[in-house]
């Protein structure tokens, strides 16, 4: 009888050598160890044919064989599975230098990016965002802004007219007049939007984007203008950036200034970007003209204001080094994809 | 405005370098756009004395020995016909830079550097120069216009730099003058500012002259339109001898870009540049009726201007007439009928102030611009008008080209030329600035600016010069003070006195930004297109004559026909953007734009039009389909927490069977679909294009809608896959809505497969759905779900003859 057990053991040892996969190991194991049909399982059923005095010994022998087989084949299974895993990995060997599969994410237009950045800065200072209409009347675009019909400043901007009364706004300050008419100070508004002038070359587009800011309250001064723009310039162009005011002229401010910031390319020593001057012109600003406040029914003796206007395209072109304003309006994907700031 | 330093120096003593002057002007509000030496391209050209000059046989050349003083003696070959021994000529040494000329010796073709040369075997160490080669015209230096060598004076020191001799060492300032300072649109005007900023004395131009007894008996000047002509003065000059102007005057005119014509005409141009006052000179022999009358032109009235053009005028234009006929188009150009001729023997000078917008409008309307009209458009002041006449009469005497009569007529309805008094509060001036400028500095600055200031307590009493029409109130004075005191003295403060306000974006702005970010997340790039488009874009979209999009607002003065209409749809710009991309080889991509369309309530506009924000998405490429665009529409719905439904529709520019109307809560809010093949082919599109356009104004009522939380089901959901056989014309949407009707526990239906083919009847298709049932109050049993399915199938069968696929 022991010989029979020994034979089964030998059968397992020799049979196992032929096995090539964990699946075969499983099937092989079943052949011997299945409780109802396996060879070792069936040995237990033989118990009734065994002499009673040998039963204990027989049972012990079968159990030992079963334990051994479980261990032996289990070990084989672990080895086989480890090999199979390794084989699978190896079969999936790749050339990691092949190109990446892109998951495409679009991006906001550079004008929107700059717009959002500026809105973020000025909302933190308490500015509301107000977008007026692109089509305005002559009154709101010019007359209310202290630019009467015969004013030479009207020559500064070539205006697109739609009718004798209606035009495409040349500045977003047109919308600010509507706000001042309907709201009493304190006023802090930021007006981003499309504006239009009859100009068309590498740095001028007939449509461009402006962001104008207006503060009306008691005791606003030129020093406040410089202070506020200092904060703005440092946030946009970096902490070390300096600002410089110099006299200029806009009909709706008096005094009027051009604001330059120290060149963020060379830091002020002079380079190609700043044309060797160390300064870059970034915006126009000033103390709101008394007449403009009065046109809106605001007491110009009690209140004063400051205003500034930033060209978004110019800011975007400076910031990203875009050489032609047309790139911003032609929707060339090769351009748009580069500007994922 | 161009201003030669030498001319400025006639009125103010400039003792700093041109670069320092540029900085000073910049700091007080005058940007020098360009600063250059007149002879910036010329170097190492000296006075050469030709000692020997021998003809080279069989050529037009001469070989010369030229003494260049300290620089040495050189052998130079020369082809000019006026080279002669003993003559002094500008000599470019080896290494010198001069202008290269074409074969005609007249056309400048860039700058060249002189090297050693060899002509016909003769070595040449330099070049004798013509005026053209040095950039000197006849008007800039007499004799320089000769097509040969420029002859230098006999007393020119040998070896000296020729630039001072020829005036090439002068500096040109091109100064930007802001619109509020028309008084600085002249040499004298800018000299006045320079005098103030340098704290130097301003010299007055010589205005002296002596009148003779001559007069025109009974001559009358009348102005019928004082609103357009507040000042008109005329002066009669006799014994006129037309001839050439002196070299100094011709040179100055040449430097500022004006050709010399004749002494009398040159005087008017000289005054325009020097004092900023346009003047006109009429030939008195041509003035009929012993009168000048300034009036509006009659509609249809004609005038032939100096340049020979016949112009038809309207009542909006202004003419200067004699007793019979128009003799000038006021402020723009004189009439041919009274121009100064060689035979002119008496002249009537005009110095007038015309309304700037009238001159601007006339100049544009008749399409004629002159130095005079350009100057009038900016505005002239009476101060200059009066001064200019005196200066012109002085120059008549100085040039000895006529006698100043005693006949002077001046019609004045405008401003006084005397200073006007203005008192401002010093505190208010300082309040505008935010700093306290010491009173002494205020006094000094205002005195330098010729405001004759006095301080009494808080009052600053000023005498505003007549030419400063821009000065009205204390903010103007604040600006005058700070631009001279220095903007660097402004101390940054951060609105310490202002009230705290709350800021930020409003709901609409936030929602549009959310939409933009959502579209970026599906791989779309934001675009911005012009608010105007072309009439041909409406044709591109095949829009019928009565389409609402064709009622577009037209620009009165567009840049071109392509940019002449305000957009009524964003689709055309998007298609054009895709066309441009495909032409550049970008064959797939996703673009979107949020922009306004402009729907007029009346045309021509009498009230604000309806400006509506729209969203347009354009996707193209072989990977795209109707359903990828539908996915983008769903993305928009999800972003706004709304639900869209879709209906079949057609329009003129999209595929008749691949276009959907987008509905939101029963309201039409847009469309999307595949671009029609004929349009795609007209535009040479290489890959398929899908367009979506949505009205954000309609959608804006949903902005701010929040997602609503549904508590999680207490019991497990069940799901069943159903393969249905249906007639081909039954839609997915129809099946889904029947299912939903049939069972209230359905929370989700996902279509996942469609089959048409052999295993099914030809007019049928098989569609497979996963249906999710969510229990409410009690758990489902297998039997209860089976019952739902049975009911669903029964309803489907009843509605569309649907069968379960076996």
* B residues 527-556 lying closer than 8 A (beta carbon) to A: 527-532, 553-556
| A44 and A178, same domain (yes or no) | no
Given an 8 Å threshold on Cβ–Cβ distance, is B479 in contact with A153? no
Comparing alpha-carbon positions, the chain B residue that sits nearest to A160 is B557
Chain B residues with beta carbon closer than 8 angstroms to that of A290: 473, 475
* B residues 375-404 lying closer than 8 A (beta carbon) to A: 377-379
Report the share of chain A in percent with pLDDT over 90.
Answer: 44
For residue A196, the cross-strand partners are A207
Provide the 3-class DSSP secondary structure of residue B671: strand
Q: Name which residue leads in pLDDT, B439 or B782.
A: B439
Given an 8 Å threshold on Cβ–Cβ distance, is B503 in contact with A152? no
pLDDT band for position A34 (cuts 50, 70, 90): confident
| A281 and A322, same domain (yes or no) | yes
Given an 8 Å threshold on Cβ–Cβ distance, is A206 in contact with B563? yes
Chain A residues with beta carbon closer than 8 angstroms to that of B494: 224, 227-228, 231
Comparing alpha-carbon positions, the chain A residue that sits nearest to B558 is A160
- Alpha-carbon distances of A257 from A246, A307, B298, B483, B494, rounded to whole Å: 5, 10, 45, 10, 18
Residue A272's pLDDT is 82
Nearest to A331 among B483, B513, B527 (CB): B527
* B residues 444-473 lying closer than 8 A (beta carbon) to A: 473
Chain B residues with beta carbon closer than 8 angstroms to that of A125: 503
Determine the Cα–Cα distance for residues B436 and A130; give it in Å rounded to an integer: 35
When the pLDDT of each residue in chain B is averaged and rounded to a whole number, the result is 93
Nearest to A257 among B26, B356, B487 (CB): B487
| A150 and A230, same domain (yes or no) | yes
Comparing alpha-carbon positions, the chain B residue that sits nearest to A217 is B498
Residue B440's pLDDT is 96
Please write the tens of the pLDDT for every residue from B658-691.
Answer: 999 999 999 999 999 999 999 999 999 999 999 9
| A271 and A132, same domain (yes or no) | yes
Tell me, yes or no, whether A229 lies in a domain. yes
**Is B432 touching A (CB cutoff 8 A)?**
yes
CA atoms within a 13 Å half-sphere pointing along the CA-CB vector of B595: 28
Please write the tens of the pLDDT for every residue from B203-259.
Answer: 999 999 999 999 988 899 999 999 999 999 999 999 999 999 999 999 999 999 999
Cis peptide before B651 (omega within 30 of 0): no
Please write the tens of the pLDDT for every residue from B374-398.
Answer: 999 988 988 999 999 999 999 999 9
Nearest to B483 among A188, A218, A247 (CB): A247
Top residue of B31, B428, B490, B524 to mutate, by most chain A CBs within 10 Å, is B490
Mean pLDDT to the nearest integer, B302-314: 93
Please write the tens of the pLDDT for every residue from B28-47.
Answer: 999 999 999 999 999 999 99
**Is B631 touching A (CB cutoff 8 A)?**
no
Sign of CA pseudo-dihedral B645, B649, B655, B657: positive
The CA-CA-CA angle for residues A48, A49, A53, to 5°, reads 85
Tell me, yes or no, whether A100 lies in a domain. no
| A59 and A135, same domain (yes or no) | no
| A68 and A191, same domain (yes or no) | no
Please write the tens of the pLDDT for every residue from B177-207.
Answer: 998 899 999 999 999 999 999 999 999 999 9
Tell me, yes or no, whether A318 lies in a domain. yes
pLDDT band for position B503 (cuts 50, 70, 90): confident
Given an 8 Å threshold on Cβ–Cβ distance, is A254 in contact with B483? no
Chain A residues with beta carbon closer than 8 angstroms to that of B520: 105-108
Residue A58's pLDDT is 83
Mean pLDDT to the nearest integer, A277-285: 89
- In the predicted model, is pLDDT for residue A196 greater than 60? yes
Cβ-Cβ contacts under 8 Å between A and B: the total is 260
Tell me, yes or no, whether A103 lies in a domain. no
Residue A270's pLDDT is 84
Top residue of B26, B230, B374, B493 to mutate, by most chain A CBs within 10 Å, is B493
| A54 and A145, same domain (yes or no) | no
Tell me, yes or no, whether A239 lies in a domain. yes
Residue A153's pLDDT is 67
The CA-CA-CA angle for residues B354, B356, B359, to 5°, reads 80
Chain A residues with beta carbon closer than 8 angstroms to that of B27: 246-247
Burial of A99 (0-12, 13-18, 19+ CB in 10 A): exposed
- In the predicted model, is pLDDT for residue B301 greater than 60? yes
The CATH number of the domain holding residue A273 is: 3.30.930.10
Asked if B326 and B303 touch (Cβ cutoff 8 Å), the reply is yes
Comparing alpha-carbon positions, the chain B residue that sits nearest to A334 is B586
Asked if B433 and B482 touch (Cβ cutoff 8 Å), the reply is yes
Chain B residues with beta carbon closer than 8 angstroms to that of A107: 520, 525-526
Chain A residues with beta carbon closer than 8 angstroms to that of B608: 133, 135, 137, 166
**Is B770 touching A (CB cutoff 8 A)?**
no
| A34 and A74, same domain (yes or no) | yes
Please write the tens of the pLDDT for every residue from A123-180.
Answer: 988 899 999 999 999 999 999 998 877 776 676 668 899 998 999 999 998 888 999 9
Residue A156's pLDDT is 60
Tell me, yes or no, whether A187 lies in a domain. yes
Given the DSSP bridges, would you call strands B525-526 and B589-599 parallel, antiparallel or unpaired? parallel
Chain A residues with beta carbon closer than 8 angstroms to that of B605: 135, 162-163, 165-166
Chain B residues with beta carbon closer than 8 angstroms to that of A224: 434, 493-496, 498
Nearest to B580 among A111, A131, A330 (CB): A330
Determine the Cα–Cα distance for residues B294 and B323; give it in Å rounded to an integer: 11
Sign of CA pseudo-dihedral A281, A287, A292, A297: positive
For residue B128, the cross-strand partners are B91
If you ran DSSP here, which 8-state letter would residue B336 be given? Answer: G
What are the start-end ranges of the H helices in B425-466?
426-433, 439-448
Given an 8 Å threshold on Cβ–Cβ distance, is B530 in contact with A331? no
Tell me, yes or no, whether A341 lies in a domain. no
Sign of CA pseudo-dihedral B267, B269, B270, B274: positive
Mean pLDDT to the nearest integer, A55-71: 86
Tell me, yes or no, whether A105 lies in a domain. no
Mean pLDDT to the nearest integer, A37-56: 81
| A127 and A253, same domain (yes or no) | yes
Is pTM beyond 0.90 here?
no
Determine the Cα–Cα distance for residues B348 and B279; give it in Å rounded to an integer: 10
Mean pLDDT to the nearest integer, B286-292: 93
Please write the tens of the pLDDT for every residue from B547-599.
Answer: 999 999 999 989 999 999 999 999 999 999 999 999 999 999 999 999 999 99
| A81 and A123, same domain (yes or no) | no
Sign of CA pseudo-dihedral A217, A223, A226, A229: negative
How many residues appear in chain A? 341
Domains and CATH numbers, chain B: 2-38+171-198 (3.30.56.10), 43-166 (2.40.50.140), 220-412 (3.50.40.10), 420-489 (3.30.56.10), 507-702 (3.30.930.10), 718-804 (3.30.70.380)
| A19 and A130, same domain (yes or no) | no
Comparing alpha-carbon positions, the chain B residue that sits nearest to A198 is B559
Closest CA to B428 of B474, B471, B378, B480: B474
Residue A104's pLDDT is 84
Given an 8 Å threshold on Cβ–Cβ distance, is B498 in contact with A224? yes
Nearest to B357 among A127, A149, A206 (CB): A149
Residue B576: phi and psi, rounded to 5, are: -60, -40
Q: Nearest-CA distance from B4 to chain A in Å?
A: 23
**Is B806 touching A (CB cutoff 8 A)?**
no
Domain end marker among A45, A60, A91: A91
Determine the Cα–Cα distance for residues B751 and B261; give it in Å rounded to an integer: 88
**Is B331 touching A (CB cutoff 8 A)?**
no
Determine the Cα–Cα distance for residues B794 and A10; give it in Å rounded to an integer: 66
Comparing alpha-carbon positions, the chain A residue that sits nearest to B432 is A221
- In the predicted model, is pLDDT for residue B507 greater than 70? yes
Please write the tens of the pLDDT for every residue from A200-257.
Answer: 887 789 999 999 999 999 999 999 999 999 988 898 888 888 889 999 999 999 999 9
Q: Nearest-CA distance from B698 to chain A in Å?
A: 18
Placement of tokens 């979506």 in the chain: B692
pLDDT band for position B515 (cuts 50, 70, 90): very high
Asked if B90 and B129 touch (Cβ cutoff 8 Å), the reply is yes
Q: What is the DSSP string of B217-277?
A: TT-EEEES-TTT-SEEEEEEEES----PPPHHHHHHHHHTT-----HHHHHHHHHHHHHS-
Sign of CA pseudo-dihedral B178, B180, B185, B190: negative
Domain end marker among A59, A91, A123: A91
Chain B residues with beta carbon closer than 8 angstroms to that of A150: 355-357
Q: Which domain holds residue A28?
A: 2-91
Residue A157's pLDDT is 62
Could you tell me which residues come within 8 angstroms of residue B57 by beta carbon, excluding any fewer than 6 positions away?
Answer: none
Residue A275's pLDDT is 82
The count of domains in chain A is 2
Placement of tokens 């990977």 in the chain: B623
Closest CA to A292 of A173, A138, A209: A173
* B residues 17-76 lying closer than 8 A (beta carbon) to A: 26-29
Provide the 3-class DSSP secondary structure of residue A77: helix
**Is B335 touching A (CB cutoff 8 A)?**
no
Q: Nearest-CA distance from B191 to chain A in Å?
A: 18
Determine the Cα–Cα distance for residues B578 and B588; give it in Å rounded to an integer: 9
Helices B263-275 and B371-378, axial angle in degrees (round to 10): 30
| A312 and A165, same domain (yes or no) | yes
Q: Nearest-CA distance from A98 to chain B in Å?
A: 22
Asked if B531 and B567 touch (Cβ cutoff 8 Å), the reply is yes
Comparing alpha-carbon positions, the chain B residue that sits nearest to A223 is B492
Closest CA to A211 of A169, A181, A171: A171
Please write the tens of the pLDDT for every residue from B768-803.
Answer: 999 999 988 888 888 989 999 999 999 999 999 888
**Cα B2 to chain center, whole Å?**
20
Top residue of B525, B576, B593 to mutate, by most chain A CBs within 10 Å, is B525
Q: What is the dihedral of CA B543, B544, B548, B550, to 10 degrees?
A: 70
Domain end marker among A36, A60, A91: A91
When the pLDDT of each residue in chain A is averaged and rounded to a whole number, the result is 88
């Amino acid at each position: 009888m022991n010989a029979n057990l020994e034979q089964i053991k030998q059968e397992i040892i020799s049979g196992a050598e032929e096995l090539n996969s964990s699946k075969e190991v499983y099937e092989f194991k079943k052949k011997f160890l299945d409780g109802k049909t396996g060879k070792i399982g069936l040995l237990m059923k033989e118990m009734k044919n065994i002499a009673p005095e040998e039963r204990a010994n027989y049972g012990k022998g079968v159990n030992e064989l079963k334990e051994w087989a479980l261990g032996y084949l289990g070990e084989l299974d672990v080895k086989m599975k480890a090999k199979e895993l390794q084989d699978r990995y190896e079969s999936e060997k790749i050339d990691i230098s092949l190109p990446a599969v892109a998951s495409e994410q679009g991006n906001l237009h550079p004008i929107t990016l700059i717009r959002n950045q500026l809105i973020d800065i000025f909302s933190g200072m308490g500015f509301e965002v107000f977008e007026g209409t692109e089509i305005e009347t002559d009154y709101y675009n010019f007359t209310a802004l202290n630019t009467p019909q015969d004013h030479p400043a009207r020559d500064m901007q070539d205006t697109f007219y739609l009718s004798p009364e209606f035009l495409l706004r040349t500045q977003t300050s047109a919308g600010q007049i509507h706000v001042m008419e309907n709201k009493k100070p304190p006023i802090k508004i930021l007006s981003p939007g499309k504006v239009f002038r009859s100009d068309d070359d590498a740095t001028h587009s007939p449509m461009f984007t402006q962001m104008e800011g207006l503060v009306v309250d008691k005791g606003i001064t030129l020093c406040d203008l410089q202070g506020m723009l200092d904060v703005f310039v440092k946030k946009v162009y970096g902490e070390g950036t300096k600002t410089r005011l110099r006299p200029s002229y806009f009909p709706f401010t008096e005094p009027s200034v051009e604001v330059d910031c120290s060149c963020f390319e060379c830091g002020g020593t002079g380079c190609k970007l700043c044309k060797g001057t160390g300064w870059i012109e970034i915006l126009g600003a000033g103390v709101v003209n008394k007449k403009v406040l009065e046109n809106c029914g605001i007491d110009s003796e009690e209140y004063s204001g400051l205003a500034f206007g930033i060209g978004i395209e110019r800011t975007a072109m400076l910031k990203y080094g875009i050489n032609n304003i047309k790139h911003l309006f032609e929707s060339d994907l090769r351009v748009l994809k580069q500007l994922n700031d | 405005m161009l201003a030669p330093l030498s001319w400025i120096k006639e009125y103010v003593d400039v003792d700093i370098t041109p670069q320092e002057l540029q900085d000073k002007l910049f700091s007080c509000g005058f940007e020098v756009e360009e600063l250059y030496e007149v002879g910036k391209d010329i170097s190492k050209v000296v006075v050469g004395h030709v000692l020997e000059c021998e003809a080279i046989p069989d050529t037009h050349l001469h070989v010369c020995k030229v003494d260049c003083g300290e620089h040495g003696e050189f052998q130079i070959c020369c082809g000019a016909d006026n080279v002669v021994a003993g003559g002094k000529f500008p000599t470019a040494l080896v290494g010198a830079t001069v202008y290269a000329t074409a074969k005609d010796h007249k056309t400048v073709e860039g700058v060249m550097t002189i090297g050693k040369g060899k002509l016909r075997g003769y070595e040449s160490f330099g070049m004798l120069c013509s005026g053209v080669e040095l950039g000197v015209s006849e008007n800039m230096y007499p004799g320089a216009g000769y097509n040969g060598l420029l002859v230098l004076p006999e007393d020119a020191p040998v070896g000296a730099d020729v630039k001072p001799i020829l005036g090439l060492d002068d500096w040109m300032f091109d100064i930007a003058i802001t619109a509020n300072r028309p008084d600085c649109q002249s040499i004298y005007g800018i000299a006045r500012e320079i005098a103030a900023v340098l704290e130097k004395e301003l010299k007055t131009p010589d205005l002296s002259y002596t009148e003779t007894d001559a007069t025109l008996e009974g001559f009358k000047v009348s102005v019928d339109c004082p609103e357009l002509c507040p000042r008109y003065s005329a002066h009669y000059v006799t014994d006129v001898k037309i001839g050439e102007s002196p070299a100094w005057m011709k040179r100055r005119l040449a430097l500022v870009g004006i050709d010399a014509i004749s002494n009398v005409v040159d005087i008017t141009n000289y005054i325009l540049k020097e004092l900023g006052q346009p003047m006109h000179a009429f030939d008195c022999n041509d003035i009929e009726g012993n009168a000048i009358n300034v009036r509006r032109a009659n509609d249809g009235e004609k005038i032939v201007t100096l340049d020979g053009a016949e112009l038809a005028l309207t009542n909006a234009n202004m003419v200067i007439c004699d007793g019979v006929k128009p003799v000038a188009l006021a402020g723009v150009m004189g009439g041919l009928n009274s121009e100064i001729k060689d035979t002119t023997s008496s002249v009537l000078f005009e110095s007038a102030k015309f309304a700037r917008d009238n001159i601007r409008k006339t100049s544009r309307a008749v399409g004629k611009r002159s130095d005079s009209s350009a100057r009038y458009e900016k505005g002239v002041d009476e101060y200059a008008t009066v001064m200019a006449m005196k200066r012109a009469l002085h120059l008549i005497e100085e040039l000895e080209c006529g006698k100043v009569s005693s006949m002077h007529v001046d019609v004045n309805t405008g401003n006084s030329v005397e200073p006007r008094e203005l008192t401002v509060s010093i505190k208010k001036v300082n309040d505008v600035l935010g700093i306290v400028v010491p009173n002494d500095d205020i006094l000094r600055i205002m005195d330098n600016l010729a405001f004759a200031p006095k301080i009494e307590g808080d009052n600053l009493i000023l005498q505003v010069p007549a030419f400063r029409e821009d000065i009205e109130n204390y903010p103007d004075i604040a600006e005058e003070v700070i631009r001279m005191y220095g903007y660097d003295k402004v101390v940054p403060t951060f609105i310490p006195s202002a009230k705290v306000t709350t800021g930020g974006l409003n709901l609409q702005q936030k929602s549009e930004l959310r939409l933009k970010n959502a579209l970026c997340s599906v791989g779309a790039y934001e675009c911005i297109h012009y608010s105007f488009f072309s009439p041909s874009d409406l044709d591109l979209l095949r829009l019928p004559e009565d389409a609402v999009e064709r009622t577009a607002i037209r620009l009165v003065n567009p840049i071109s026909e392509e940019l002449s209409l305000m957009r009524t749809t964003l689709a055309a710009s998007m298609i054009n953007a895709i066309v441009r991309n495909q032409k550049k080889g970008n064959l797939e991509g996703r673009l979107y734009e949020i922009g306004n369309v402009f729907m007029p309530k009346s045309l021509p506009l009498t009230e604000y039009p309806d400006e509506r924000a729209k969203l347009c998405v354009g996707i193209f490429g072989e990977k795209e389909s109707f359903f990828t665009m539908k996915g983008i529409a769903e993305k928009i719905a999800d972003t706004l927490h709304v639900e869209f439904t879709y209906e079949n529709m057609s329009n003129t520019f999209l595929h008749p069977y691949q276009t959907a109307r987008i509905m939101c809560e029963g309201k039409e809010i847009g469309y999307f679909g595949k671009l029609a093949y004929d349009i795609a082919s007209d535009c040479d599109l290489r890959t398929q294009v899908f367009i979506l356009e949505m009205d954000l104004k309609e959608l804006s009522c949903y902005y701010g809608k929040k997602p609503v939380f549904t508590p999680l089901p207490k019991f497990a959901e069940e799901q069943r896959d159903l393969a249905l056989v249906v007639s081909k014309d039954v839609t997915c949407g129809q099946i889904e809505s029947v299912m939903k009707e049939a069972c209230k526990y359905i929370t989700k239906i996902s279509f996942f497969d469609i089959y048409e083919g052999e295993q099914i009847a030809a007019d049928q298709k098989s569609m497979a759905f996963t249906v999710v049932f969510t229990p409410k109050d009690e758990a489902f049993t297998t039997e209860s779900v089976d019952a739902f399915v049975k009911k669903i199938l029964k309803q489907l069968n009843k509605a569309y003859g649907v069968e379960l696929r076996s």
